[in-house]
Chains A and B, each alone.
Chain A
Amino acid sequence: MLKFPNPQQRIQVSHDFQKKIILLLLLLPGLLFFLPARCPAAQDKDLTEFSIEELMEIKVISVSKKSQRLSDSAAAVFVITREDIRRSGVTSIPDALRMAPGVNVARIDANKWAINCRGFNSRFSPSLQVLVDGRSVYTPSFSGVYWEVTDVLLEDVDRIEVIRGPGATIWGSNAVNGVINIITRRANDTQGGFVQASAGSVEKNMVAARYGGTMGNDKFWRIYAKHRARDEFDRLSGEDAGDDWQINQAGFRMDGQLSLADNFTLQGDLYDGHIHQDLYLYSQATPYMDEVPVTTDVSGGNIMGQWTKILSGTSEMSVKMYYDAMHRSEDILNEDRHNVDVEFQHRFGLGFGNDIIWGLRLRHLSDDYSGSKVAFMNPVSTTDLLYSTFIQDEISLLEDKIKLTIGSKFEHNDYTGLEIQPSTRLLWAPSDHHRLWAAISRATRIPSRVESDALIYLSGMDTAYGPLYSRFVNNEDQTAEILWAWEAGYRFIPQQTLSIDLALFFNDYKDLRIYTPQSSSYIDAENQILIQDIVLSNMSNARSWGAEISVDLATSKQIKWTLAYSLTYHDYDNDQEYEIDFGFIKHQVSLRGRFDLTENLTLDAWFRYVGKTNAICAFSNTAIYEIDDYATLDLRLGWKIRPDLEFFLTGQNLLQDSHLEFVQEAFSYPVEVPRSTYAGLTYKF
């Protein structure tokens, strides 16, 4: 869809496909199944002979635990639990998200990720709302997420809820393709000490510590700190990518009761880090493109308070406030941002099976982009106000066999005015083991600050008439991108050890904002340069459809399997017949096996296959960079040396030396994700 006149900047690409251990892949699941020893002896015992202390030591098989809670939601939801995170050996939230079906996670380099649900993946313009304990970390600058600074102490994560499909009725604009809710545990549940240290090839070193205590009878607190340093990757061409980075983060959380029915939470985080990258930017001297090693200083913090009052068994209200600040000095975009958010929610039963929830939200954003050298904002600094209200009614019919949820968000923003985002969801539970649901919803993505106000110098090149610069020209005439999503799903939970979740979707997008080059370049007489403008406009429609399936199965007390498979198709139409084909993956598979080899020894295997995809890349002559499919495997071995001490050894991306997952839209080189290992110890007291 992007075309550049006479592109000369080329990056040499080479790829090595030799290292495919296909046979191992074929045999692995079967082999692993035979490894663990089963001990059915304990199961023949009469449980009534057990003391209560012994009962509390019994592991209850619960693959359906999450399904029991989630089986009643009329949406495509997948939950990643703390146990999933610990056992898989992932070291970041993006890597954890690879477990969920329908989520495309692609690592661009050591410190950047592109993540979206159900296609349209990119670093700068996905359409995913991401919340950490209810705090939005979606960046209003470029409508993406700075995943490299979105972190928590993984040990303190309670769960990550991944909702594919629109969630705009509750979460507002930009919850278009999906919502990711990262929920940390209450301080009540994180009492005592936790120390973890590890070292490895990519995860050079990581130290994390937490301590939790009490204040009086009903107030609990915890503090944590973590340090992480990651090594650099290699470019596709074989050179060092220069993308090593390190970050320090610390925070606290306090939970308590103010009175019998009042609960409060107070929490906050601070981070500070240095991120290295090699940027490929326009310059003012020949050859008008330059490789620039950049150190990006990132820092930020937030503080949040939440008060929940239980009014009765069927009624509850809550008030949440937070302040969030960030600083990022990057040559492309220098950014200082301060967000204040206030939210009120009230839920109450209205009788006749009506359960109503409504809320108000006010969000104040202020930013300053002084000193940016590539993206020039006009105005450089501004404040935006966003206010919204929503109401949703969950109606239970036929003794809870049918649940009908209708609601809408009414949101006002400074870019496109009022956005109405309604949804209707229907859940039918014909019996305890079956759930069927369907939903229709509308969601919008409002223009980001960059999409509205930035002029971005993309590249320069030498021509016979002097330098030619390509620029992304944004403007304020953007309307919101609109999605109408049609979804349906089926859940089958025949027994506690098996659950199957199937979701189908059809997404109908209108007015997608796409960059299209002007038909000719022109001479800027004042500066004696040639300019090629690439202009953003709401020029295309698109459709995508597909299916996702996830299966949880415990084949015995010691073996659990989770399979996630997603299938996505897409299509587009626009007057210019530009191909809108980026960030879609047709087939994607994740298969995890968790094996309790002995009482103290655990093994985890995680196989992933990601189909081929296209990334937008301004430096490619077709503006599209084709990325091959890849299959890879993670293994983790955990050894509980003592009840309070665990040793772990993790190997990631084991099936090849390195593989390419994605390419950033501009400014950088293709970088491959290498095979890596790390080992460490966890101590609890």
Chain B
Amino acid sequence: MAIKTRQMQRSKNTRIKIVIPVCICQFLLCSIAIGTVQSQNLEEYKVKAAFVYNFTKLIQWPKTAFDSEMEPFKIAVFGNEDLKESFQTIDGKISGGRVISIRYPDPKGNDYKKMLADSQVVFISRHTRLEQALQILNSIGDRPVLTIGEVKNFSRTGGIIQFFTRDDYLHFEVNIKKAEVHQLKFSSRLLKLAVIVNEK
């Protein structure tokens, strides 16, 4: 079998060796040039916050969930700093005649359980440790609180709504039996869009 001479290969190699750095440079240049554009992107948590806002409008809480007619809609968000910025976009909005108030309890502190006790919605991001998430769900018990999470099996291990991404679009699972336990009534419009999980 004829084996190619070294020389032929070398000349070709140098050509291709030039191509690679140039391509990589182009790639990096593109990244720098458009680096500022990405901030306009619809970030996942801004969209999720908007979802949560819609949930408050499409789910009916029992009267016992609120102390008074004037009481704000209190949403407790567990997660990192990035989430705060996103959830601020729905803070102060009106839903069902109530002002939305977002709070960011510290799961390591002692007072977060008190904060949980008078929240109507709890959002637990994937940045929260599983043990902590289970603790949070545990301390909520069967109270009329909508629990929303992102980690796998959240809606099967005590949570009510679980976000998931499919083909770059956001979807959500609803554990409908758990919702009933928490006395939350989901509108049919919401259930039509949800993936239903039948678990206690």
**Shortest beta-carbon distance from A376 to chain B in Å:** 26
Interface of A is mostly: mixed
What are the residues of chain A within 8 A of B169 when measuring CB–CB? 56-60
Q: A55-B54, A432-B80 are in contact. Are A557 and B42 (CB under 8 A)?
A: yes
What distance in Å separates the Cβ of B151 from its nearest Cβ neighbour in chain A? 10
Give bound CA distance, A396 to B13, whole Å.
48
Chain A 383-419 near chain B by CB (<8 Å), digits 1 or 0: 0000000000000100110000000000000000000
Which candidate, A17-25, A508-516, A522-530, is the interface stretch facing chain B?
A17-25
B180 within 8 A of A: no
Binary per-residue interface labels of chain B (120-136) against chain A in the complex, 1 for a CB within 8 Å, 0 otherwise: 00000011011100100
A556 x B41 contact (CB < 8 A): yes
Interface 0/1 of B88-125, CB less than 8 Å to A: 01100100000000000000000000000000000000
Q: Is the CB of B190 within 8 A of A612?
A: no
Which chain A residues lie closer than 8 Å to B22 at the CB level?
A: 25-26
A310 in contact with B15 (CB, 8 Å) = no
- Which of A43, A310, A563, A631 is B40 in contact with, Cβ under 8 Å? A43
Q: How many A-B residue pairs have CB under 8 A?
A: 197
Task: Indicate if the CB atoms of A61 and B41 lie closer than 8 Å.
Answer: yes
Chain B residues with CB under 8 A of A612: 9, 13
Whether, in the assembled complex, B1 has its beta carbon less than 8 Å from a beta carbon of chain A, the answer is yes
Q: Is the CB of B30 within 8 A of A33?
A: yes
A661 shortest CB reach to chain B, Å:
15
Q: How far is the CA of A631 from the CA of B189 in the complex (A)?
A: 53
> B82: nearest residue on chain A (CB-CB)?
A432
- In the complex, which residues of chain B have a beta carbon less than 8 angstroms from the beta carbon of A310? 153, 156-157
Chain B residue nearest to A353 (CB atoms) is: B131
Question: Is A591 a contact of B3 with CB atoms below 8 Å?
Answer: no
Shortest beta-carbon distance from A466 to chain B in Å: 25
How many Å lie between the Cα of A631 and that of B18 in the bound state?
12
- Find out whether the CB atom of A561 lies under 8 angstroms from the CB atom of B27: yes
For A188, the chain B residues whose CB sits under 8 A away are: 195
Is the beta-carbon distance between A312 and B157 smaller than 8 angstroms?
Answer: yes
For A46, the chain B residues whose CB sits under 8 A away are 89
Within B23-60, the residues touching A (CB, 8 Å) are 23-24, 26-27, 29-31, 33-35, 37-38, 40-44, 46-47, 49-51, 53-55, 58
Q: How far is the CA of A467 from the CA of B13 in the complex (A)?
A: 42
Contact between chains at A617 and B19 (CB < 8 Å): no
**B residues less than 8 Å from A625 (CB atoms):** 1, 3
Q: Which residues on A sit within 8 Å (CB–CB) of B127?
A: 432
- Interface pair A313/B157, CB less than 8 Å apart: yes
Interface-forming stretch among B68-76, B140-148, B160-168? Answer: B160-168
B190 near A261: Cβ-Cβ < 8 Å: no
Q: Is the C-beta of A53 less than 8 angstroms from some C-beta in chain B?
A: yes
Complex: chain B residue closest to A33, CB-CB: B30
Contact of B44 among A40, A61, A609 (CB under 8 A): A61
Q: Is the beta-carbon distance between A497 and B38 smaller than 8 angstroms?
A: yes
Q: Which of B160-200 contact A (CB under 8 A)?
A: 165-171, 189-190, 193, 195, 198-200
25 of the cross-chain contacts (CB-CB < 8 Å) are A43-B41, A47-B42, A52-B193, A55-B54, A56-B171, A58-B42, A60-B44, A60-B47, A61-B38, A65-B168, A82-B167, A260-B200, A310-B153, A432-B82, A555-B33, A556-B34, A557-B40, A557-B42, A589-B23, A609-B20, A612-B9, A612-B13, A626-B4, A628-B4, A628-B9
The 4 A-B pairs of least Cβ separation, nearest first, read: A555-B34, A313-B157, A47-B50, A52-B54
Further pairs besides A25-B22, A60-B170: 10, Cβ < 8 Å: A10-B2, A22-B15, A48-B53, A51-B54, A52-B58, A52-B189, A61-B43, A432-B82, A432-B127, A561-B31
Residues on B lying within 8 angstroms of A by beta carbon are: 1-4, 8-9, 12-13, 15-16, 19-20, 22-24, 26-27, 29-31, 33-35, 37-38, 40-44, 46-47, 49-51, 53-55, 58, 80, 82, 89-90, 93, 126-127, 129-131, 134, 153, 156-158, 165-171, 189-190, 193, 195, 198-200
